[in-house]
Chains A and B, each alone.
Chain A
Amino acid sequence: MIEILLFSIITGLVYILMATGFNLILGVAKIVNLAYGAQILVTAYIAASLLPIFPLPIALAGAIAASIAVGAVIWMIMWVFRRDLILSIVASLAIALLIEGLILKIYGSRLLSLIIVTGEIWGISSQWVIAAAVSISSLGFYYLITKHTTLGKRMAAVAENEDLARYIGINVKLIGIASFLIASLLASIASIAITPLYAIYPHMGWYYLTLALAIVVIGGLGSTVGSVASSMVLAFAQNLASYYIGSPAKDLVPIIILVSTLMFRPEGILGRGVRWA
């Protein structure tokens, strides 16, 4: 049982990382980026391709750089459509489908495993320890940026009131780009942390996108604490369901929690009354 609890905490930490990136784009750039999962996908496949060829740091840096480059391209396309919610959703969907199609064409539909490290640290799998350490340090880094830098304060200003931020001289477009790039970085780090614990496959982008969406909705739009809470709730619910009921229950649990939240508490666990419609 102890492994289940530990594993749930680790996956929960990675989920927080994922949801944070998604939330950042939604809050600052006001874009519903459905291609966010595709960025996680790109990082995983590029890391898997580079690892057999290059030393670990270079391979991982290459995968992260590729994900950020993809994020930059997505940003350029999404910026054009961002004033129209429907168009921006359709555009991000199209980008995600395109990336998935390319991955399928290049790599095929096989499930791959990504092995980054082997061995143990204090009797625990090194991979688990690293996933937790990377997630915690990335979240700490993100906290420092958002709370203790000018960029963070400007991002908060844009998220709060874009017009007012522009009025006081903040370059909203630049802040949007920065938020997109930081979100891409978080997505790629989350990918490198989580895929060695699970698997790489061409459709995994949709799974992680659904998780990020569910976390944001369950936690409450705009609530950081809510996202943290819902990430942990989902991770524990998935692993405990798999432990007690069986592996098919794992994918059903987030949907049940999401639907229940929308029915009984649409503003989310710690939301501030924001509703989808």
Chain B
Amino acid sequence: MTGGYTLRALSRLNIYMILAAVVIAVLIGVAIIYQQMQARPVETIKIGFLGPLQTEYGDAGLKAVLLAVDEINRGGGIMGRMVEVVRYDDGNTPAQGVAGFKKLVEEDKVVAVFGIHASPVGLAILPEIARYKIPVFAMGSVSDVIDVNVSSNPGYRYWFRFNINASMHGLMVYYPAKAIASQLGLKKFGLLYDNAPWTAPVIDTVKKAIRSDGYEVVYEGTIDIGKTTSFVPQLAKARDSGVEILLVWNAYGDAKFLQRDYDDMKPPYILIQFDGVGMRPEQWNITGGKLSYQVFAFFVYGRGANVDPKLRSFYDSFKQKYGYDPLFYAPYIYDAVYAWKKAVEASRSFDGDSVANYLEKNGYDGISGKWIFTKGHSPLYGEGYITTMALQWLPGGKLVVIWPAKIADQQFLPPPWLKK
């Protein structure tokens, strides 16, 4: 009996010891694994920003990308990996653009590239995109020639423009102008535009639209980019030509001088403009308030009365982070980052083909609207897709949405000097 008891006691002891050893081993194992996990750096994934960093629009684009990446990282990253942004200044020149793209892909090992403003840069990097099969999300580079290239060359399918193309830039100014012409019974249009390749399809499209609507083009002038610092001759010529509405396309920041001179001269016609750099609330202070009654075509505007809450939330986040409202490209390129994230997560891959397949098939529903891409990987423009709006500056610095009517704060208010 004693021996049996001892044996039982020993067996119990052995069982306890074995259990204790197992528990200790498991704890040690867990500790080692935990330690190793802690010691191993969090794996990041790199994306590139290639754009004119010295410009306001380049800086705005970069800031929007950084905001999106910040939000994504705070939410756990993409497939468990944190995202890091590597930037390169392309200076809006093709040579620097190609060098930057190669550097980002070869040295920094980025898996996607965002940014790109100038069309010549976009055109120059298309062959590199085909070579490296890296998805590229352009915020500008709106030339229709790029669409033609992308649609006709399967190797360029990694290019996606998160901005409407040049022809649509024509219509985003013409449509609100047409509404104003209809409101006031005006017929005679003037066209003033950048002396640059991107405006050729703009003007072709707008001229066709003007003629088909039974209106008339009575004046045409060009802006010598970076050199036209007084618009007095152009504005005087437009007036002497009988212009009733002057339509303007300027993408490089020269239009602030036009806005100043229009306000100084107060010619008897309406000014409605696409000013790539000027579509922002800060423009009032930049021009010393010389903007009253002028109309601007905006990509989006997050402070209107009937604005989408998602867009307003983006405006608030941007302002909280950077201290001012987002400008021009910011919402578009912000959408691009999230579109890329969605494509990667849906396809469980950073691979260029997987991302391109997803976006070609599904597009992306973002804060700027629904991004559905054409064969040239340019978004569809119009209601239900990507829309634009027109805003008017009123005396005192109030900015109101006047077009489209569905989201307008109020109707266009003609400048008082038109009555003279």
Contact = CB atoms under 8 A, between A and B. Distances in A.
Given A3-B265, A110-B253, A248-B195, A115 B234 contact: no
A205 to B, nearest CB: 14
Interface string A234-277: 00000110110011101100000000000000000000000000
A1 B236 contact: yes
Interface in B280-296: 286-290
A246 B221 contact: yes
Interface string A95-138: 00000000000001111010100100000010110000000000
B233 A111 contact: no
Interface stretch (B36-44, B109-117, B224-232): B224-232
B237 interface: yes
Interface string A64-99: 000000000000000000000000000000000000
Contacts of B234: 242, 247
A3 B235 CA distance: 9
Given A3-B232, A198-B230, A247 B222 contact: yes
Given A108-B54, A127-B264, A247 B236 contact: no
Contacts of B195: 248
Interface string B209-242: 0000000000001111011111011111101100
Contact of A239 (B232, B260, B287): B232
B217 to A, nearest CB: 16
A199 interface: yes
Contacts, number: 75
Given A4-B233, A239-B232, A243-B233, A125 B257 contact: no
Interface string A194-225: 00011101000000000000000000000000
Contacts of A3: 232, 235-236, 239, 265
B377 interface: no
Contacts of B290: 115, 118
Interface string B252-293: 011011001001110000000000000000000011111000
Contacts of B224: 247-248
B289 A118 contact: yes
A201 B228 CA distance: 12
B242 to A, nearest CB: 13
A243 B236 contact: yes
A243 B237 contact: yes
B257 A198 contact: yes
Contact of B227 (A118, A243, A251): A251
A7 interface: yes
A240 to B, nearest CB: 8
B233 A113 contact: no
B257 A4 contact: no
B400 to A, nearest CB: 21
A198 B258 CA distance: 10
Contacts of A197: 230
B15 to A, nearest CB: 78
Nearest to B56: A110
Given A247-B223, A248-B195, A113 B257 contact: yes
A246 B240 CA distance: 15
A118 to B, nearest CB: 6
Contacts of B257: 111, 113, 198-199
B54 A115 contact: no
Contacts of A127: 264
A199 B232 CA distance: 13
A250 to B, nearest CB: 8
A105 B224 CA distance: 25
A113 B286 contact: yes
Contacts of B54: 108-110
B265 A246 contact: no
A201 B226 CA distance: 9
A4 B226 contact: no
Nearest to B252: A111
Contacts of B289: 118
Residue of A110, A111, A127 contacting most chain B CB atoms (<10 Å): A111
B236 A115 contact: no
A251 B222 CA distance: 15
A109 B55 CA distance: 9
A121 to B, nearest CB: 11
A122 to B, nearest CB: 13
B230 A111 contact: no
B138 to A, nearest CB: 23
B88 to A, nearest CB: 18
Contacts of A118: 263, 288-290
Contacts of B233: 4, 239-240, 242-243, 247, 250
A199 B264 contact: no
Given A111-B253, A239-B233, A247 B264 contact: no
A113 B231 CA distance: 13
Contacts of B253: 110-111
A115 B287 CA distance: 7
A55 B289 CA distance: 17
Nearest to A3: B236
Nearest to B222: A246
Contacts of A251: 227
A116 to B, nearest CB: 8
Interface string A11-31: 000000000000000000000
Residue of B230, B232, B286, B288 contacting most chain A CB atoms (<10 Å): B232
21 contacts: A1-B240, A3-B232, A3-B236, A110-B54, A110-B55, A110-B56, A113-B286, A115-B287, A115-B288, A118-B263, A125-B265, A127-B264, A198-B257, A201-B226, A239-B232, A239-B233, A240-B233, A243-B236, A246-B222, A247-B224, A248-B195
Instruction: List the 8 closest pairs (A to B, CB-CB), nearest first.
Output: A115-B288, A125-B264, A199-B229, A242-B233, A243-B233, A198-B229, A247-B228, A3-B236
Interface of A: 1, 3-4, 7, 108-111, 113, 115, 118, 125, 127-128, 197-199, 201, 239-240, 242-243, 246-248, 250-251
Given A198-B230, A239-B233, 6 more contacts: A3-B239, A110-B55, A110-B253, A113-B287, A118-B288, A118-B289
Interface of B: 54-56, 195, 221-224, 226-230, 232-237, 239-240, 253-254, 256-257, 260, 263-265, 286-290
